[in-house]
Amino acid sequence: MIRLEDTRRFDAPPEALLALLMDPRFQERRSAHLGTAAARCTRRGDALVLEETRDTGFGEPWRSRLTTRWDVATRRARWTLERVAGPGDASAEGEIVIEPDGSGARLRLTGTLEVRVRVLGPMIERLARRALRAEREREAAFLRAALQ
């Protein structure tokens, strides 16, 4: 299991960042920007559900479901990521917090990722950690551009 932690500062009010992250169309555009083959985001009650398909390079695509439950008043969310189909087995969960930071906002993401694949699980987790760091850099740049 690996621990996920990332904090970014944005030159936009916390409310603007929250509105963007809660927008299903923005989530689909963000997903496409990060390289998914297909993405569909819908609201289900108090949750935002993003279903993605990614090319694994091993024949069968990886399909996942990211469910984010926002508490608008506190600008906090609990999120879970689950595998829907594809090779291997992995899941993740955590929290997103948006806080004021001077004239802008700070976005903090924390969580854990667990890969349940015999023998190769720890190696896959290390590779995933590197890939997630790179993806978070691209995601932050995309968010900054969208907030301008």
Q: Do 63 and 53 form a contact (C-beta atoms < 8 A)? A: yes
The pTM is what? 0.83
Return phi, psi of residue 48, to 5°. Answer: -105, 125
Q: How many other CB atoms sit within 10 Å of the CB of residue 23?
A: 15
Amino acid identity at 108: R
Note the pLDDT of residue 126: 58
**Secondary structure tally for the chain: helices H, strands E:** 3, 7
Rounded Cα gap, residues 45 and 101, in angstroms: 30
List, for residues 111-135, the tens digit of each pLDDT value. 998 877 665 556 555 556 566 677 7
SS3 content of the chain, % helix, strand, coil (to 5): 30, 45, 25
Where the chain has pLDDT below 70, the residues are: 58, 87, 117-132
Nearest to 51 by CA among 83, 19, 92: 83
| 55 contacts: CB under 8 Å, gap ≥ 6 | 37, 61, 62
- The beta strand positions in 72-126, using DSSP E, are 76-85, 90-101, 104-115
